[in-house]
Amino acid sequence: MNKVCIVGASGKLGQYMVQHALDRGYEVVGVCRPQSVGKLEPFKGRITIVPGATNDREVIEKAVAGCDGVLTVLVPWGVQQYATGTAQAVLDHAKPGARLVFSCGWHISRDGQDIYSWKLRTFVKVFGSLARLLRFADLDDQVEACRRVFASGRRWTVVRGSDLEEGESQGLPVWSRHVGDPILASNITRRVDFALFMVAALEDEALVQEAPAIVGCQTPSVLAAGAER
């Protein structure tokens, strides 16, 4: 892994990923909306920035050229299939064999085997309906984006984040194939560690074609599982 592209680099998760990727010595190309370029000022001179919408196929084609890995922040904002367009552009233009790592939330299910709490089910139902009604987000767009990733023959990983919080790193999160596994019960991860997991996944063969649901490694549910073993 020499050169990586971060699609959605200017967001909170994106900026943490840029830092982790630089810490690993990777050459970094970041894609972000033109109005957000200023948010990447702290990395000036250390990364290449390709300004543009992340669902713009020409922008993605240019940004991922020669990259061994692509880290993509999938967000459901708007009702123009932004996430689906972003994922498709990455799937179509990343070089053959590149590691492709996408972010999303626990609400995405790869195989329908996840067991969700009533709280999460209610949130998805209420937020999803309200967001679509007010036309500021479309959760189904993120679902479709991930469906396309799962169906691709690419070397993908879809990292499913729990609820997030800010704070110093606690270390690499723990993961499980399915939400509902008691180890995930604490449902909280530091955003900096979500980013750490995304970047570490680039070189983790065990995560190829997996959709890990993650949780912070110092959370009570993880510590309790450790004590039981």
Ligand X SMILES: NC(=O)c1ccc[n+]([C@@H]2O[C@H](COP(=O)([O-])OP(=O)(O)OC[C@H]3O[C@@H](n4cnc5c(N)ncnc54)[C@H](OP(=O)(O)O)[C@@H]3O)[C@@H](O)[C@H]2O)c1
Position with the least CB separation from ligand X: 11
CB of 215 to ligand X, least distance (A): 11
Q: Does 211 bind ligand X (CB under 6 A)?
A: no
Q: Does 6 bind ligand X (CB under 6 A)?
A: no
Q: Does 10 bind ligand X (CB under 6 A)?
A: yes
**Cβ contacts of 160 within 8 Å, gap of 6 or more:** 104, 105, 106, 108, 179, 211, 212, 213, 214
Q: Does 84 bind ligand X (CB under 6 A)?
A: no
Task: List the beta bridge partners of residue 213.
Answer: 160, 176
User: Which token pair is 179?
Assistant: 């939400």
- Judge whether 158 and 211 are in contact, CB under 8 Å: yes
Binders of ligand X in range 140-199 (CB under 6 A): 161, 163-164, 191
**CB burial class (10 A; 0-12, 13-18, 19+) of residue 113?**
exposed
Starting at the edge strand found earlier in the chain, the sheet holding 69-73 runs: 48-51, 27-32, 3-7, 69-73, 99-105, 155-161, 213-215, 174-176
CB of 96 to ligand X, least distance (A): 25
Residue whose tokens read 């689906």: 84
Q: Does 86 bind ligand X (CB under 6 A)?
A: no
Among 4, 13, 60, 87, binds ligand X (CB under 6 A): 13
Among 3, 24, 33, 155, binds ligand X (CB under 6 A): 33
Q: Which stretch binds ligand X (CB under 6 A): 20-28, 76-84, 92-100, 197-205?
A: 76-84
Among 3, 12, 62, 147, binds ligand X (CB under 6 A): 12
Among 51, 52, 78, 180, binds ligand X (CB under 6 A): 78
CA distance readout (Å), 186 to 48, 56, 114, 166, 168: 37, 37, 16, 16, 18
**Cβ contacts of 200 within 8 Å, gap of 6 or more:** 172
Q: Which is nearer to ligand X, 18 or 228 (CB)?
A: 18
Interface positions with ligand X (CB under 6 A): 8, 10-14, 32-33, 36, 39, 73-75, 77-78, 82, 103-105, 161, 163-164, 191
